[in-house]
Amino acid sequence: MADKAAHSGAGPKGPPPAVPKKKKGKVSIVMIAIFAVVVLGMGGGGFFVYKRLAATRPAEGEEPKGFFERVFKRGSSEGDGTTPAAKPGAPMKIQIVEKPEMGVIPLEPFLVNLSDPDSQRFLRCTMKLIIDTKAHQAKILENEAVLAKIRDSFLVYMSTKMGEELITIDGKQKLRKELLDKANEIMGQPWALDLLFTDFVVQL
């Protein structure tokens, strides 16, 4: 029996060869070292950027040179030369240069017979004079003679118009300019900037 086993090559099976284990310790150390290098590199880059920004920041009282700092300069309007420089750290605010407020003089409603030859027509309108300043408005309102002359001049002039020419846009605009010129002529100064119709009806 032993000879047959020897000739057939079969024999008792022994234990399998041992597989060498991987060394995890060295791999972990290498990964930690790489991670540490990356973190240190990021920290160094951030510190470099911070130093560059700090170097370009204007000193106290110095005019900012960056585009955004120039546009959004705190507490002042660039270019007007009238706004004092704000203290560092002051909240940003938008400043508007105020202009003298204009005045308004409302005139009493007009009812005028027009000069149409073929029929009797009339114009009913209400208007307001826009004055350049409140001070000039007060002077005009204090002088009743000026207001009376303006009203009389408007009545006489509008009575020379015909209904056909006043119903068009061009006719209204022409009348507006002519009345405005008459008002400034009576005041002796170009204080009236505009004339606004708030009501305009032509009976046809």
Structure-model confidence comparison of residues 40 and 96, the more confident one? 40
CATH superfamily label, 103-202: Band 7 domain (3.30.479.30)
**CB of 197 closer than 8 Å to CB of 154:** no
Please report which confidence band the pLDDT of residue 204 belongs to, taking 50, 70 and 90 as the band edges: confident
- What backbone torsions phi and psi does residue 144 show, to the nearest 5 degrees? -65, -30
pLDDT of residue 101: 87
Tokens coding 172: 């209204």
pLDDT of residue 201: 96
- Looking at residues 4-33, what average pLDDT do you find? 54
- Looking at residues 176-181, what average pLDDT do you find? 97
**pLDDT greater than 80 at residue 198:** yes
Task: Tell how far CA 129 is from the center of its chain.
Answer: 30
**CB of 198 closer than 8 Å to CB of 127:** yes
Nearest to 131 by CA among 178, 193, 183, 189: 193
pTM of the model: 0.52
Please report which confidence band the pLDDT of residue 56 belongs to, taking 50, 70 and 90 as the band edges: low
The tens digit of pLDDT for each residue in 103-112 reads 999 999 999 9
Delimit the domains of the chain by residue range. Answer: 103-202
| Contacts of 88 by beta carbon, 8 Å cutoff, 6+ apart | 60, 74
Give the angle subtended at the CA of 93 by the CAs of 92 and 98, to the nearest 5°. 155
Burial class (CB within 10 angstroms; exposed 0-12, middle 13-18, buried 19+) of 47: exposed
- Looking at residues 71-97, what average pLDDT do you find? 51
